[in-house]
Amino acid sequence: MARHKRSIGFLGLAAAAVLGLAGGGSARAELLVDNILSEQFNNEKDPNYKKIVFFVDAFDAQGKFVADLDKAEDVVKVTIDGKEVEGTFTIETVKDANQPMAVGILIAAHESYSQYDPESGMPNILELEKNGFDAFLRNLSNQNYAAVWYYNEDGLHKVYSWSNKPEDAANTLQSLVKPAQKQPGKAPALYANIQKVMETVQEFDSTLPRRRIILVMSDGKDGIQNNQAQVKKRVDAIADLAATYKTKVYAIGFTIDLEEPLVNLNEIATRTFGVYRRLPAEKAENISSELESLSKELQNQYVVTFTPKEWRGAEQPVTIVLEVTPPGLTPMQKIISDVKVPALGTDIMAILIPVLIGIGSLLGLFLIWKLIKAIIRARKNRPVAGAVEEEEFVGPYKGKLTCTMGAYAGKEFFLTEDLTTIGSIAGNTIVLQEAGVSKRHAGIKIEEMRFELADFGSTNGTFVNGAKITKQFLRDGDEVRIGEARMKFTLK
């Protein structure tokens, strides 16, 4: 199994297309996208982006399934609303991608299929059906779910309920599927029976895989086929259920007489985004092999998983173009309109990361500024190298200021003059080279042993016992704060 990963223009989701292979007509190469999943990633590396999963089939001009799509180069191209969105993709089979499916089989066992006349040369249609569906089920792995019903003029009959043991379903099929016993000749209720089978998906909705198919082979005959109002009502009901439970109808049309009823069978497949195939009566002997090959096709369907680089969905439906180029074939393109890919919420991290970076930068600048300020303060308060240490004062004084905090903690300044000035520059009586001290900060005037402290209009103010002052007489024990320096005033 080859897995491709490369950067491409994104072609996002698609709604299913219907492939009709009409007997006797000319087939053409077509691309089928029968299911799309859109999911938000659930991992730490890509928590905010979607992955888009396409289930893809490619058929050549003869209607044959294209193999080895996952081994080709440059096989996918994608656009959304005409614009390319970069991303990466992988291509693998559903089996390798671990994408199981659920197939509900509805077998026609009514009179038209169960009558057998060897002289006409027509083989036994019911037996060919049973053999084909038997082989279909045995080809399924146990990762797939299966259920089997048959219908005839007596009504709908359950053969095997939904289970991930398709081989067990095959073992019961041959013996239990039987023609009508009570009401031969009465037209069966085909559309109602398809609806009933579809309704069982609701009961097992939480158990079944996301890929769900109702497979029916029929001639399209129904007792209400001549009442178009009733037919439309029944088809609408089937289509509504199919949309609700993401289930498609794959229909094999085969009749030995009337062609008209096949139109309604085709419409059911089309409305449920499934597949319709017409087998001509002259190829009746191929019924078993066609059913068996269908199981192989379904399991070899391709899964294209796309991871967009930046595209996060849209508020409004978009138009998506899927182009696939199988090996040796020309590109196949499918245009899908009104595709809903809900937009993801705001990428919080995309907003948060720049904000956090900005806050971090501001915080870093603030810390740098504080560091520079501390360095300047330390240098300013650092004693001048080579300065002569002052001798202890021994003369008469009237009062003194003792530094209790700051760069001069423990130093005593004796008040000996009638006017003592305090500031950060030489020429003052007391020089304090502390942060917050103005050049000429304050002064103390002494008259008759009264000590008046006055602020000289300093930048940061002068404080006594914590209160800012302009002028104030000092008392023994007062605390004076000038800048970062704190001093205790005491009398002689």
CB atoms closer than 10 angstroms to residue 490 = 15
Residue 363 in tokens: 């915080």
Calpha distance 297→232 (Å, rounded): 31
Whether residue 319 contacts residue 337, with contact meaning beta carbons closer than 8 Å, is answered with yes
Out of 27-41, 197-211, 377-391, least confident range: 377-391
Query: What proportion of the chain, given as a percentage, has pLDDT over 70?
Result: 80
Tokens representing residue 205 in the block: 């909705």
Neighbours of 2 (CB within 10 A): 13
Query: Is-contact 263 22, C-beta < 8 A?
Result: no
CA distance 78 to 33: 13
Please give the angle made by the CA atoms of 224, 160 and 195, to the nearest 5 degrees: 25
Picking from 406, 410, 409, 405, the residue whose alpha carbon sits closest to that of residue 378 is 406
Chain segment 105-156, per-residue pLDDT in tens = 999 999 888 877 666 677 889 999 999 999 999 999 888 999 999 999 889 9
Q: What is the pLDDT of residues 62-88, one digit of tens each?
A: 666 777 777 655 567 777 788 887 778
Type of residue found at 70: D
Say how far residue 23 (Cα) sits from the centre of its chain.
Answer: 43
Query: 1: pLDDT confidence band, cut at 50, 70 and 90?
Result: very low
